[in-house]
Amino acid sequence: MEFTLKIWRQQNAGAKGGFKTYPLKDVSPEMSFLEMLDYLNKQLIEGGDEPVTFEHDCREGICGTCGLYINGRPHGPMRDTTTCELHMREFADGDTIFIEPWRASAFPVIKDLAVDRSSFERIMHAGGFISTNTGCAPESNSNPIGKHVADLAFDAAACIGCGACVAACKNSSAMLFASAKIAQYAMTPQGKVERKERVDQMVRQMDAEGFGACSNTYSCEFDCPKGISVDFIATMNKEFLYSKLFGQKG
Amino acid sequence: MIKLDSKIPDGPLAEKWTRYKAGLRLVNAANRKKIEIIVVGSGLAGSSAASALGELGYKVKVFCFQDSPRRAHSVAAQGGINAAKNYKNDNDSIHRLFHDMIKGGDYRAREANVYRAAEVSNDVIDHFTALGVPFARDYGGSLDTRSFGGVQVSRTFYAKGQTGQQCLLGTYSSMNRQIAKGTVEMFPRRDMLDLVVVDGKARGIITRNLLTGGIERHSAHAVVLATGGYGTVFYLSTLGLGSNASAAWSAYKKGAAFANPSFIQIHPTSIPVLNDYQCKLTLMSESLRNDGRVWVPKEKGDKRQATEIPEEERDYYLERRYPAFGNLVPRDVASRAAKERCDAGYGVGDTGLSVYLDFKDAIKAQGEQAIRDKYGNLFEMYEKITGINPYKQPMRIYPAGHYTMGGLWVDYDLMTTIPGLFAIGESNFSDHGANRLGASSLMQCCGDGYFILPNTISDYLADEIRTGKIPVEGKAFDEAAEAAAEKVRRIMAVKGKQTASAFHKRLGKIMWDHCGMRRDAEGLEKGLGLLDELEKEFWNDICVPGSENDYNQELEKALRIADFFEIGRLMCEDALQREESCGAHFREEHQTETGEAKRNDAEYAYVGAWEYQGAENKPKLHKEALKFEFVEVKERSYK
């Protein structure tokens, strides 16, 4: 297969970036998208150029490191698929493919296609945990949790923290990301104790990082590689209201 | 010259840890905040240790190469985490879990360490439940379990096929709580390039800031390595591409003994290699062998579609050879059996290098939905990568490099031969002998981090309360920082023609061919020669574009690969000296008439711990004899 790649190149956060065009020949349909970029980089390096910087690690769709904006969509054209799971057989021979980093002011570009997602970390520091010390846990089965609740909690917890929801959103909102954690904890007995403080603090941090609000286009759910549901945003809003109405303590 | 003192306590097996713990010294709460601890690695072991130490009030500094600790490769563990809860009433117990691990490791692990890992396993599950980890549950609300290889009970707790992710997000959340409290400080995007040893004690590390290229110095009263394994030495492996062994290797070169480097697990159920550009193999969880049946055609070179081959023309070779355990034999046994069939010409797929893992019967018996509930995400992952729907066609699988049982030698305190340097999780060698059973790595990592290390490290730190802050100036720090900077400069200066990945691929092939699933003296000797040649070529022809003072991914790779040549050599040396077959270490020269591993307990019932002797000299082998007081050492049979 042959492709024309238009890739965003930017030397660092302060530099001005732009698209550069790279024709690429002899691409196998069996290659993953990132293997295709490896293949490009090998040619760039051997030709004396600097390779394209992009981030990745597990290459099996679970670590959340990779995240490219491909032809105007986070993680490319396939639903429920991370960039590393995307394969070139999904493209047509001769296609032009635009590759950009996540676009959001809360995710500043580091270099080329790599962005800084530490804002997500700070949202988690604000309340993404259950305050229990090592050694004080009761016997696991002393707190039964119905299968449907446990399964729903799992669905929320499946978030990989890649940032596709933010990149997909016209407001660069991080609500899907934050709500998945808030909802996961709010629905289980272990997490309920701190639910009011948690939602308040995580939402506050989300705003402080410069993420936008939700305007219900559902693009986040549509482009989430793990299919996290926007229902959790509704849960978060409910939790937030509950926290405001009934106070954070008690 | 190092001395191996395992510090195994006396007394009955079940009381060793309790008695030992009672004798360990403590650090008073007011003193803990004056004591700094460095933790390198943020996976299950590192983040659980950092959380527990932070909760105790120590000042903890955590380093990882990823942009976030949540991305450590523990995240990719799929199938589950073991504990001896006996929730299935199938007569499980701590002793049975211990016994399964000792046998599974082919009697090459320490009894006391393994028993302790089993002992704290139940606490790990309880703690994760309290942290909100969404393990699978039954309709009544209690936790569900499933079976894994090498055991006859159902003790594996799971969260679909994403147990590692859910457990890691649990340890990550507990660490985030400490970060918010200020007891833990996080340093992401750092590679540890060297260990700093001051007056014989581990006192700090040298890191490279991956964004700026800055060489940084960090000091502490103790250093904990939780840096995982070295399976990426094979290039194609189930590991994350950034996984590397440089931190542990720098500790080895500073005097920490490296134990059993040749004990490396080849996982039997990975998606086979599909093209020449592939740099990663994706695992299909062992849990699939609960319901999947492994087979090849009875006829050599049968090119029919799997679904066209009738039942009587299929060879369910694991069920045939190992009727007692069937498809759930341990990983080393399953991997070798797959290789045996493929080498004999019965393999399937274009390359002939794969076997079938078939869910036809399970789907028939339980319905497609039941299978989807258990393994949905794995089936999706398989389809995304191969384009084949495993509900309709059997999966094709083949063994791939996965987990390293070998690692830094540690005593019962989890301390290496360098005082003040600890190693936990996969980075140490201690609990899995010559083969690890499935779902026991998550268990060990979290047991080490949450429940064992916080106790043992305090005994060491009790002597440090008067030390005061460790300065980052002085000869040892200067020399280590200069050596790290020099290594970077040396690689940048080569300005050759070949990329780091190209070298890594060739290195991986040498290791796979000569120090992989089956080994012999001739092949290992040949592998050593090839490694020398390739390493020489590397230092003459590596091409690292760009600048060292920048985000330079090629430089990161090159620095890691430089260490892998040396590790590969030590793996071959270790495999060569061990003239027996045990667990995952299979020497062609030592097998039974039916092709099973043949141990030599009279001469090789020891841990082989290597001591670095400088770049010019061969490393020195030290032997820690393994004593079995509580289990009967037998031939390991799953027939």
Give the chain A residue whose CA is nearest to the CA of B87: A141
Q: Does A42 touch chain B (CB under 8 A)?
A: yes
Judged by CB atoms closer than 8 Å, whether chains meet at B160 and A60 is answered as: no
| Pair of tokens at residue A134 | 């090592």
DSSP state of B450: I
Give residues with Cβ within 8 angstroms of B632, minimum separation 6. Answer: none
- A146 lies in the same domain as A81: no
Task: Please state whether A98 falls in left (phi above 0), alpha (psi between -120 and 50) or beta.
Answer: beta
Q: What is the pLDDT of residue B416?
A: 98
Residue B556: count of CB within 10 angstroms of its CB: 19
Residue B600: count of CB within 10 angstroms of its CB: 14
Tell which A residues from 132 to 191 touch B, by Cβ distance under 8 Å: 132-141, 143-147, 150-151, 153-154, 157-158, 160-161, 184-185, 188, 190-191
Nearest-angstrom CA–CA distance, B197 and B476: 7
Q: What is the pLDDT of residue B79?
A: 86
pLDDT band at B17 (very low <50, low <70, confident <90, very high): very high
CATH value of B268-401 in 3.30.2000.10, 3.40.50.720, 2.60.300.12, 3.90.700.10: 3.90.700.10
Q: What is the domain count for chain A?
A: 2
B515-529: per-residue pLDDT in tens?
Answer: 999 999 999 999 999
Average pLDDT, chain A: 96
Q: What is the pLDDT of residue B149?
A: 85
pLDDT band at B286 (very low <50, low <70, confident <90, very high): confident
Q: What is the pLDDT of residue B148?
A: 87
Residue A174: helix, strand or coil by DSSP? coil
Residue B616: helix, strand or coil by DSSP? coil
Judged by CB atoms closer than 8 Å, whether chains meet at A59 and B240 is answered as: yes
Residue B288: helix, strand or coil by DSSP? helix
Judged by CB atoms closer than 8 Å, whether chains meet at A63 and B73 is answered as: yes
Judged by CB atoms closer than 8 Å, whether chains meet at B131 and A131 is answered as: no
Query: Average pLDDT of B441-446?
Result: 98
Q: Catalytic site residue B190?
A: no
| Pair of tokens at residue B621 | 């082998």
* Amino acid (one-letter) located at A28: S
Average pLDDT, chain B: 96
pTM of structure: 0.97
Tell which A residues from 82 to 121 touch B, by Cβ distance under 8 Å: 85, 87, 89, 110-111, 114, 116-118, 120-121
DSSP state of B447: I
Nearest-angstrom CA–CA distance, B45 and B248: 14
Residue B406: count of CB within 10 angstroms of its CB: 30
Helices (H) and strands (E) in chain B, counts: 19, 20
Judged by CB atoms closer than 8 Å, whether chains meet at A185 and B136 is answered as: no
B19-49: per-residue pLDDT in tens?
Answer: 999 999 999 999 999 999 999 999 999 999 9
Q: What is the ipTM of this complex?
A: 0.98
Domain boundary among A111, A143, A161: A111
Burial category of B323 from C-beta neighbours within 10 Å (exposed 0-12, middle 13-18, buried 19 and up): exposed
Judged by CB atoms closer than 8 Å, whether chains meet at B278 and A35 is answered as: yes
Strands B355-358 and B293-297: antiparallel
Nearest-angstrom CA–CA distance, B83 and B145: 10
Q: What is the pLDDT of residue B374?
A: 84
- Tracing tokens 């090159």 back to the chain, one arrives at B558
Nearest CB neighbour to B499, from listed A45, A59, A120: A45
Nearest-angstrom CA–CA distance, B203 and B614: 21
Judged by CB atoms closer than 8 Å, whether chains meet at A129 and B176 is answered as: yes
Nearest-angstrom CA–CA distance, A134 and B55: 8
The closest alpha carbon to B638, from B287, B336, B263, belongs to B336
Give residues with Cβ within 8 angstroms of B64, minimum separation 6. Answer: B40, B41, B42, B46, B71, B72, B186, B187, B188, B189, B190
Beta-strand (E) ranges in B134-189? 145-146, 156-157, 184-187
Of B253-262, B382-391, B460-469, which gets the smallest average pLDDT?
Answer: B382-391
The closest alpha carbon to B407, from B286, B263, B243, B195, belongs to B263
Query: What is the per-residue burial (b if ≥16 Cβ within 10 Å, else e) of B103-116?
Result: bbbbbbbbbbbbbb
- % chain B with pLDDT above 70: 100
Could you give the C-alpha distances from B115 to B94, B119, B131, B366, B631, in angstroms and in order?
Answer: 8, 6, 25, 37, 11
A156-196: per-residue pLDDT in tens?
Answer: 999 999 999 999 999 999 999 999 999 999 999 999 999 99
Q: What is the pLDDT of residue B377?
A: 83
Nearest-angstrom CA–CA distance, A12 and B406: 40
Degrees (nearest 5) of the Cα angle A206, A211, A214? 95
Judged by CB atoms closer than 8 Å, whether chains meet at A132 and B130 is answered as: yes
Q: What is the pLDDT of residue A62?
A: 96
Give the start-to-end residue ranges of the domains of chain B. Answer: 13-263+405-464, 268-401, 475-602
B346-372: per-residue pLDDT in tens?
Answer: 999 988 999 999 999 999 999 999 999
Residue B585: count of CB within 10 angstroms of its CB: 29
Give the chain A residue whose CA is nearest to the CA of B179: A125
- A18 lies in the same domain as A60: yes
- A151 lies in the same domain as A92: no
- A182 lies in the same domain as A240: yes
- A85 lies in the same domain as A136: no
Cβ pair A146, A132 in contact under 8 A: no
Beta-strand (E) ranges in B220-286? 222-225, 258-259, 264-270
Q: Using N-to-C axis directions, what is the helix angle for A175-186 and A118-127, rounded to 10°?
A: 30
Its sign, for the CA torsion B570, B575, B579, B581, is positive
Cβ pair B519, B578 in contact under 8 A: no
- Tracing tokens 């679970």 back to the chain, one arrives at A62
**Predicted confidence (pLDDT) at residue A249 exceeds the cutoff of 70:** no
- A19 lies in the same domain as A122: no
Domain boundary among A111, A141, A163: A111
* Domain B13-263+405-464, CATH class in plain words: alpha beta
Q: What is the pLDDT of residue A248?
A: 61
Domain boundary among A111, A142, A171: A111
Q: What is the CATH number of the domain that holds A85?
A: 3.10.20.30
- A142 lies in the same domain as A227: yes
A200-248: per-residue pLDDT in tens?
Answer: 999 999 999 999 999 999 999 999 999 999 999 999 999 999 999 987 6
Query: Average pLDDT of B114-137?
Result: 98
A98-151: per-residue pLDDT in tens?
Answer: 999 999 999 999 999 999 999 999 999 999 999 999 999 999 999 999 999 999
- % chain B with pLDDT above 90: 94
- A23 lies in the same domain as A91: yes
The closest alpha carbon to A103, from A81, A74, A83, belongs to A74
Query: Average pLDDT of A71-78?
Result: 97
Distance from CA of B119 to the nearest CA of A (A): 14
Distance from CA of B277 to the nearest CA of A (A): 6
Of A4-8, B288-292, B552-556, which gets the smallest average pLDDT?
Answer: B288-292
Distance from CA of A157 to the nearest CA of B (A): 7
Distance from CA of A114 to the nearest CA of B (A): 10
pLDDT band at B16 (very low <50, low <70, confident <90, very high): very high
- A153 lies in the same domain as A242: yes
- Which residues on A lie below 8 Å from B188 (Cβ)? 118
Judged by CB atoms closer than 8 Å, whether chains meet at A30 and B274 is answered as: yes
Q: What is the CATH number of the domain that holds A197?
A: 1.10.1060.10
**Predicted confidence (pLDDT) at residue A250 exceeds the cutoff of 60:** no
DSSP state of B417: S
| Pair of tokens at residue B603 | 């001469």
Q: Does A57 touch chain B (CB under 8 A)?
A: yes
- A30 lies in the same domain as A65: yes
Query: Is B475-602 assigned to CATH 1.20.58.100?
Result: yes
**What's the domain range around A235?**
118-246
Distance from CA of B134 to the nearest CA of A (A): 5
Give the chain B residue whose CA is nearest to the CA of A113: B551
- A158 lies in the same domain as A131: yes
